[in-house]
Amino acid sequence: MRALRQYFRNDRDVEREFIYISSYWKNGVTEEGHKVIKREDAERQC
């Protein structure tokens, strides 16, 4: 997901407000763990 965000922001010059990329799951991570990862990613984007 991070690589896609960087691609759209840096290579394609898409403004942050027009990008929303979210994963549905990650192999080996519980649902609760996935929520934590998504929350941390969102905080880094601010």
46, two tokens: 């601010």
DSSP 41: H
Q: Report the number of distinct structural domains present in the chain.
A: 1
Residue 21 confidence (pLDDT): 82
Give me the tens of pLDDT residue by residue for the chain, a chain 46 residues long: 889 989 999 999 999 889 888 777 778 888 888 889 888 888 887 6
Among 1, 37, 35, CA closest to 19: 1
Domain range for 35 is 2-45
Q: How many CA atoms lie within 13 A of 10 on its CB side?
A: 6
Sign of the alpha-carbon torsion through 11, 8, 24, 32: positive
